[in-house]
Amino acid sequence: MTAPAPVPYDPELVAGLDAFVSLVEIIPLRADSIHANRDHFATIIPPMTVQAEGRAVSWEDRVISGPEGAPDLEITIVRPSRAASGPAPAVLSIHGGGMVLGTRFFGTGELIDLAERHGVVGVAVEYRLAPEHPGPAQAEDCYAALEWMAAHADELAIDPDRIIASGMSAGGGLSAAVALLSRDRGGPRLAGQLLGCPMLDDRNETVSARQYDGFGAWDRNNNDTAWDAIAGTERFTDAVSPYTAPARATDLSGLAPAFIEVGAAETFRDEAVDYATRIWATGGQAELHVWAGGYHGFHGFSPDAEVSKAANAARESWLRRILHLDE
């Protein structure tokens, strides 16, 4: 089958895309190179001492209980330096990396920004990676961190009614999985789920997946490698849990309000649009943004482009509304 023509990239984003690919994808992500890619990621993610230097935040590492029968979890808590007038809003930060790469420090930059600007308290969770730990181990770890946050709301000085799950790429997919787990288990009620270019569907068969087969910031081949590691022999079957691949959920009703953002020029475009459409079909709340010419994670590597500024403003607006943020 001939691959459909790709949506062209916004010209302002091309330099950032080239920088993204040259920095992140030194070694093609395949089954035999996952560990080499992990080692490479470790060299490009700054430690917290560097990320927080000169910023108006404090931070600490903790070890908390993991899911029943699973190992303990490492987390990092980020707090604003300024004194709060009352319980703060909170964010559970879930990092990207295809559920096979990365660490919790891949997403702590967002927590530092939110703590400085809005007094948000953030918790970044170190979830288990595939293939050593097949899905839904990743979602279970993240949900355990959410339960811990809600149970320790007083200690953290957070408002348990103003917690969101937030992540990009794999972190977006896992945020969706946490929202499903929260609903299904009657657990801590999320105020919202921020799904940035979310990785939702193990089948990898959409038009947009085929449009970005062999090139781009996270192409169809990388996605196949990751899903093979996550779902193993269950991939493509009905045995895949919705907590592993949220697109597999047959019921998207009763979920926390979702913010879903994705580039028009990336692999995950169509599954993100479908997920929002299915939430709306149940009468649920979803705010969907498909950014013209945007590659995977474009606003991180091309922050000065006009489309990135628009995307950042839209996300900021949703956060203000969902978390009732002060100026």
Write down the pLDDT at residue 1: 59
What CA–CA distance (Å, rounded) separates 153 from 220? 40
Burial of 63 (0-12, 13-18, 19+ CB in 10 A): exposed
Give per-residue pLDDT as tens, 195-221. Answer: 999 999 999 999 999 999 998 999 999
What CA–CA distance (Å, rounded) separates 205 from 17? 23
Give per-residue pLDDT as tens, 239-295. Answer: 999 999 999 999 999 999 999 999 999 999 999 999 999 999 999 999 999 999 999
Which whole number is the average pLDDT over 141-145?
A: 98
Q: Is the pLDDT of residue 327 over 70?
A: no
Give per-residue pLDDT as tens, 8-63. Answer: 999 999 999 999 888 877 788 999 999 999 999 889 999 999 999 999 999 999 99
Which whole number is the average pLDDT over 131-152?
A: 98
CA distances from 309 to 47, 114, 148, 166 (A): 27, 17, 34, 19
pTM: predicted TM-score of the whole model, two decimal places: 0.97
- In the chain, DSSP finds a helix count (H) and a strand count (E) of 12, 8
Write down the pLDDT at residue 28: 87
Give per-residue pLDDT as tens, 78-95. Answer: 999 987 789 999 999 999
Number of other CB atoms surrounding residue 134 within 10 Å:
18
SS3 221: helix
Instruction: Tell me the pLDDT of the chain averaged across its residues.
Output: 96
Write down the pLDDT at residue 3: 78
- Token pair of 53 as six digits: 């230097």
Residue 130 backbone phi and psi in degrees, to 5: -90, 155
pLDDT more than 90, % of the chain:
93
Q: Is the pLDDT of residue 187 over 80?
A: yes
What CA–CA distance (Å, rounded) separates 159 from 89? 6
Q: Is the pLDDT of residue 2 over 90?
A: no
Q: Is the pLDDT of residue 190 over 60?
A: yes
